[in-house]
Amino acid sequence: MDDKQLMENLLLLEKGACDLFLHGAIESSTQNVNAAFDSALTETLALQDQIYAKMAAKGWYTVEQVEQQKINTLKQRFAAQA
C-alpha cells in the first residue's frame, strides 16, 4: 500500500466517523451525550480537513471546477421547484 492509498483510507475512515458522530449527536437523548458526540464530531471534522489538505497539496485529491452555466441551470431548476 502506497502513501496515497493510505491517505485515501484514512480519509474514508474519518468521513465514516463523522457520519456516525453526526447521527449520534442528532439522536442523543441527553445534553451530556449530545455534547460528547458534538465534541467528537468537531474533532473528527478537523482531522478530516487536515487529511484532505495534505492530499490536495500532494495532488492526490483534485477538485474539478464546475462551469458557471451549469451552476446557473441548477439554481434555476431548484428555484422553479420551490
List pLDDT tens digits, range 6-59: 999 999 999 999 999 999 999 999 999 999 999 999 999 999 999 999 999 999
Does pLDDT of 2 surpass 90? yes
Task: Write out the three cell numbers for 63.
Answer: 477538485
Give dist(CA 13, CA 46) in Å, integer. Answer: 13
Q: How far is CA 11 from CA 16, 23, 42, in A?
A: 9, 19, 15
Number of domains in the chain: 1
pLDDT score of 70: 93
64: pLDDT confidence band, cut at 50, 70 and 90? confident
3-state secondary structure of 17: helix
Give dist(CA 11, CA 48) in Å, integer. Answer: 6
Per the structure, the complete domain to which residue 63 belongs is given by 3-81
Task: Write out the three cell numbers for 16.
Answer: 465514516
Number of CB atoms found within 10 A of residue 68's CB:
8
